[in-house]
Amino acid sequence: MTGQLPVLQVAAPLLCAPLCVLLRSRTVAWLLFLVASLASLTCAALLAVRVDRSGTLRYAMGDWQAPYGIEFVVNGFNTPVLLLVSLSAVVVAVYSRRSVAGELAPRRVPLLYACLCLTLAGLLGLAITGDVFNAFVFLEISSLSTYTLIAMGRRRQALLAAFRYLVIGSVGAVFVLIGIGLAYAVTGTLNMGDLAQRVTGGHDNRSLQAAVVLVFVGLAVKMAVFPLHAWLPAAYAEAPSAVSTFIAATGTKVAIYVFCRFAFTVFGATLVFGAMPVGRIGLLLAALGILLGSAAACFQDDLRYLLAWSSVAQVGYIVAGVSLATTAGVSAAYLHMIMHSVTKAALFATAGLLLLRLGTVRLAALAGVGRRMPWTFAAFVVAGLGLVGVPPTAGFVSKWALVTALVEQGQWLVLAAMLSGSLLAVFYVGRVVEVAWFREPTADAEPAAAPASMVTAIWFLVLLSVSFGFDASLPAHLADAAASALLGNGGG
Amino acid sequence: MAELITAWTSPDRAVALPVAVAIPLLACCGVLLLRHRPIAREAASVACGLALAGMVLALWPVAGQGLRFELWTWLPGLSLEFALEPLGLMFASVAAVLWPVTTIYAAGYLRAAQEPALARFFAFFALTIASAMWIALSANLITLLIGYELMTLATWPLVAHHGDAKARRGSRIYVAVLLATSIGLLLPAIVVTWVLAGSTDFRPGGLLAGQAGTGVLTLLFPLYLFGIGKAALMPVHRWLPAAMVAPAPVSALLHAVAVVKAGVFTVLKVAVYVFGLDTLRDSGAAEPMTWVAAFTLIAAAIVAIRSDDLKRRLAYSTVSQLAYIVLATTLAHEVAVAGGALHMVTHAVGKITLFLCAGAVAVAAGRTRVSELDGLGRAMPWTFAAFLTATVSIIGLPPTGGTWSKWLMLLGSAEAGQVVPMLVLLVGSLLAVAYLMPIAVRAFLRPPAGPPAHGDAPLVMTGPLVLTAIGCVALFFGADVVLAPLAATLELP
């Protein structure tokens, strides 16, 4: 049984998806998603423990041995991603029941859960697969279901946001596909480990370099790296709350993982960061993304757009760490991936709760909300401080790691951008806090009581973020293991 | 029980250190639990304050034994750790002793001024003291930074307490300046230190000694000094006058004692334990900052003279007096540094008295401007007697504690052969006469504008301020006791 864990990890949510549609019951669909995510979390945790003890796990799909069959590989570099995605799914499952009931027409609810199951399956598959074409398939599964989820947003703008993401995301996916095709043409294999072996020595091959460019540009769309971030703000802000919480926590993070996987264990660091200037371009785009994303967040009047723009900036932080291509840098990037995922999920979940209770999350409507809902807003403040990177929150831990990695490499300009980004974060988080705590309330109607399940989910995330801020040894251990697995090239 | 007593001050796991942080946290929880019962709430606050003060003062005999307590490892290679050393104990004692005094005063003041949300006020007040304890006892820069940021955030609601547009504007400047300097300058400075030395521990003799060249040190030192925005060097002093929108007890305890002293305390710690006084002196890394501090000292004093608003005048006086401590630190001479550390204590006791008096005047007489104080000394004799005592201490005249701190700083600068800084210190004291003396003189010697319509402030307010004024005088006689542990550490002659 335990030998089948890697495939169960993906199969559980994938099987639950059609059941959600067939059974057509809101409660059953919700239960199925909850069960699927709990099953994935169990698999991910068991896999993480086994990898930590005995190293790389390989699973040949249908017993067709690699490089001919599809292979699932579990190693230090993807256990944090698997854990992150499945844990977010569990939290979102708890959160979503009441949140979805308040936002969607009842007949659509099972469809939403079906799509959530598919997204979960796609993201987990993307994280676990050891085959480049299979990675593309899972990328499409997760993307297509995400487009649908965003379109379920309650405002008409959601359709536009979903359509925009559909167009941009599909172009990106095609880039990835062409890149994979070129790599296949050059090397004659689709297995990641096999590709890595055949790529060495062919660094002057133009087709291979073109493959690298195409794959990375395509992935950059999914990662929302500046300037390919245009789809992100509206997509995050218009989606139903549960969906934006889930994709803000996981979507871009998994894409970044796939980027790392391709860069370090498929094409190889010597080709990507040595022969080609991907590292320098990455640092430049990261710095610009941090500055412009944070600046744009300062000018938003809607809480969810503000958070979404801040995500664009935070992706920049992670990309900067990866682009350093050092162990410290990649480890810091993983750490920030984990910390930011927890923090941003908490923030979007809080925004969703506010939306449910107030009907709007425009900043002007939030005046004095902190006094009327002190607990909800206290959660927002703590998580918001995590975005700024104030100690002792989770954001500080990862920012510390990133800043150390940058100082070691002497990247002073990126460091300056990163610190300016933090200062801008002080501004945009401070603005929300000030409006909510220190302004007099405008509306006199008491909002409805907060559903306990949503509050539980939010506070779970917030407390997780604070505990990581005080004792970061677990995420730091995961991140270090990931970095050494990627840079030690042991994964294949 | 016996185990607890041995563990209390055992060298490696001194339980006393985390308990010192935990007591004000306990007070914070207690206040929140008792939020609907005002008397019990404030009694809990004062009781915790007295317990903390007693506990911290009881640590003086073991000040030099290097007690440590490791909380936990935060990241591999970085741990959150407490350690007891003389500078930290001085800062902790000041904050701990003045906390219950101010709490009693605050209870009277906030009722008289009819301020809202008292439970929130006392809770965050206790939280700020907890962060002050955390800062005072931290064993490395990371631990200190956590307490430092926590303090900024815990004081934010206190500064914005009134909740009107003016308070919001003031608190915005306050938080923005303090967070911007700490994230933008202090954090990179700490990271660079970590990369250079492979550690962030405070180490006697200096963590960076022999680890970096003169150029790096000369760049790093200003990064620290401007990064520690709470030390209020110009041009990052703007938060201090902005914070004067806060109620008087906040200005008194936080912006004359806990927050600004956390700033200069960090400066002293960085100079003594991160750079090392010998390294600073030999490399000349601190010299540019001597001039920044000298400029701040004089410029702030001039602004203070020109301010008519009493609290604003006191705020700029604080900026000027903080620059004394920074200036003494940059001289990197043991005697001057000891003087700076002592000034941290004497100025705290003096300035808290002045702010408490300002609050008493505002509540009893409704006056906030210096020009309106004519003849008030007769109506409020206790308040203005205390004010005069504290004035004398800030100026640095006997028989008050300020005498010794200023004397040591002058002596240190003379021994270091620094003539211009010495002159600056002297001129600063003359300017202090010019901005503080007229207040007491007006109150006592000018004829009142009309017949006295009110008496002195209520006893809960005059009591604490008379106590702190007595403290100013007591420090004149007890300065050597305060300095003894530090003198041993710095190997003063």
The C-alpha atoms of residue B444 and residue B362 are separated, in whole angstroms, by 17
Rounded-to-integer distance, Cα B156 and Cα A285, Å: 35
Average pLDDT over residues A146-161: 91
* DSSP 8-state symbol, B139: S
The CA distance from A341 to A317, in Å, is: 13
For the segment A291-307, the average pLDDT, to the nearest whole number, is: 92
**Which segment of A160-164, A434-438, B131-135, B262-266 scores lowest on mean pLDDT?**
A434-438
pLDDT range class, residue A492, cuts 50, 70, 90: very low
The least confident of A174-188, B123-137, B182-196 is B182-196
DSSP assignment letter at B229:
G
**Average pLDDT of the segment spanning A22-34:** 91
* Residues paired with residue A131 on neighbouring β-strands, in sequence order: A191
Res B33: pLDDT: 87
Over residues A335-357, the pLDDT tens digits come to 999 999 999 999 999 999 988 88
- How far does Cα B363 stand from its chain's mean position? 24
Say yes or no to pLDDT of B200 above 90: no
B249-291 confidence digits (pLDDT tens): 888 887 778 899 999 999 999 999 999 888 888 888 888 899 9
**Would you state the pLDDT for residue B265?**
94
* Among chain A residues, CA nearest to B198: A404
- B417: helix, coil or strand? coil
Question: What pLDDT is attached to residue A320?
Answer: 94
* Non-local CB neighbours of A186 within 8 Å, separated by 6+ positions: A198, A202, A205, A207, A208, A211
Q: Return mean pLDDT, chain A.
A: 89
In the numeric block, which tokens belong to residue B398? 């006997």
Q: B42 vs chain A: nearest CA distance in angstroms?
A: 22
Tell me which H or E stretch contains B250.
helix B248-253
Q: How far is B13 from chain A (nearest CA, A)?
A: 19
As given in the structure block, the two tokens for residue A374 are 């002190």
pLDDT tens digits along A72-119:
999 889 999 999 999 999 999 999 988 888 888 888 899 999 999 999
Q: Which helix (H) or strand (E) holds A57?
A: strand A57-60
State whether B74 and A470 contact (CB < 8 Å). Answer: yes
Is this structure's pTM higher than 0.80?
Answer: yes
How many residues are present in chain B? 493
Name the residue of chain B whose CA is nearest to A410's CA: B192
How far is residue A249 from each of residues A234, A254, B244, measured CA to CA in Å?
Answer: 16, 9, 41
What mean pLDDT do residues B305-316 have? 90
A422: closest chain B residue by CA: B183
What's A71's DSSP letter? E
Q: CA A471: distance to chain centroid?
A: 22
**What pLDDT score does A176 carry?**
94
d(C-alpha A316, C-alpha A295), whole Å: 13
- Give φ, ψ of B172 to 5 degrees: -65, -45
Residues of B in Cβ contact (< 8 Å) with A420? 184
pLDDT of residue A491: 39
Contacts of B460 (CB under 8 A, 6+ apart): B104, B105, B107, B108
- Residue in B75, B172, B183 nearest the CB of A423: B183
Q: Which tokens go with B57?
A: 């003062």
A419 closest CB neighbour out of B163, B168, B184: B184
Are the Cβ atoms of A427 and B176 closer than 8 angstroms?
A: yes
Q: What ranges do the domains of chain A cover?
A: 277-492
CB pair distance less than 8 Å for B184 and A422: yes
Record: contact B72-A397, CB cut-off 8 A: no
Chain B CA closest to residue A438 = B163
CB atoms inside a 10 Å sphere around CB A240: 25
Which residue from B72, B145, B172 is facing A391, i.e. has the nearest CB? B145
Residue A102 and residue A356 in contact, taking contact as beta carbons nearer than 8 Å: yes
Residue A408 distance to chain B (closest CA, Å): 7
CA distance readout (Å), A342 to A249, A462, B4:
7, 8, 39
B chain contacts of residue A430, beta-carbon cutoff 8 Å:
172, 175-176
The tens digit of pLDDT for each residue in B365-409 reads 888 888 888 888 888 888 999 999 999 999 988 889 889 999 999
Contact criterion met (CB < 8 Å) for A390 and B153: yes
Nearest chain B residue to A390 by CA distance is B149
User: B75 and A480: CB-CB below 8 Å?
Assistant: no
Average pLDDT value for chain B: 88
Asked if A391 lies within 8 A of B172 by C-beta distance, the reply is: no
pLDDT band at B493 (very low <50, low <70, confident <90, very high): low
β-pair partners for B138: B82
- Count of all residues that appear for chain A in the document: 492
User: What was the pLDDT predicted at A362?
Assistant: 86
User: Which of A415, A434, A480 is opposite residue B168, by nearest beta carbon?
Assistant: A434
The pLDDT assigned to A444 comes to 58
Strand partners, A60: A71
Q: What is the DSSP letter of B4?
A: H
Interface probe with A: pick from B74, B166, B186, B216, most Cβ of A within 10 Å: B74
User: What pLDDT score was predicted for residue B34?
Assistant: 86
**Which residue ranges make up each domain of chain B?**
288-493
Structure ipTM: 0.76
Quick one: what percent of chain A has pLDDT higher than 90?
Answer: 53
Q: Which long-range contacts (CB under 8 A, 24 or more apart) does B483-486 make?
A: B483/B338, B483/B341, B483/B342, B485/B60, B485/B63, B485/B64, B485/B86, B485/B89, B486/B86, B486/B87, B486/B90, B486/B338, B486/B341
Residue with the larger pLDDT of the pair A41 and B451 = A41
The per-residue pLDDT for B80 is 87
Segment B242-254 mean pLDDT: 84
Question: What does the pLDDT look like over A29-38, one tens digit per residue?
Answer: 999 999 999 9
Report the run of H or E that residue A432 belongs to, with start and end.
helix A412-438
- How far is it, in rounded angstroms, from Cα A395 to Cα A386? 4
B10-17 mean pLDDT: 82
Q: Stretch A399-403: mean pLDDT, rounded? A: 90
The predicted pLDDT at position B490 comes to 78
Chain B residues whose C-beta sits inside 8 Å of any chain A C-beta: 72-76, 80, 142, 145-146, 149-150, 153, 157, 160, 163, 167-168, 171-172, 175-176, 179-180, 183-184, 187-188, 191-192, 194-195
pLDDT band with cut points at 50, 70 and 90 for residue A446 = low
CA-based nearest residue in chain A for residue B165:
A439
pLDDT > 90? residue B487: no
**Residue A24, amino acid:** R
How sure is the predictor about B118, in pLDDT bands with cuts at 50, 70 and 90? confident
Tens digits of per-residue pLDDT, B124-158?
A: 989 999 999 999 999 999 899 989 999 998 998 88
The tens digit of pLDDT for each residue in A38-55 reads 999 999 999 999 988 888
Q: Give CA separation, A82 vs A42, A78, A222, A473, B124, in Å.
A: 10, 6, 18, 18, 40
Measured in angstroms, the CA of B153 and the nearest CA of chain A are apart by: 9
In B, minimum Cα distance to A469 occurs at B74
Residue % of chain A over a pLDDT of 70 = 98
Query: A449: Cβ–Cβ under 8 A, 6 or more apart, which residues?
Result: none
What is d(CA A161, CA B184) in angstroms, rounded to the nearest whole number?
A: 36
Provide the shortest C-alpha distance from residue A124 to chain B (in Å). Answer: 28
| Both tokens assigned to B223 | 């990064």
Q: pLDDT tens, A234-253?
A: 999 999 999 999 999 998 99
The CA distance from B38 to B31, in Å, is 9
Please indicate whether, in this complex, the C-beta atoms of A389 and B195 are within 8 angstroms of each other: no
pLDDT for res B1: 64
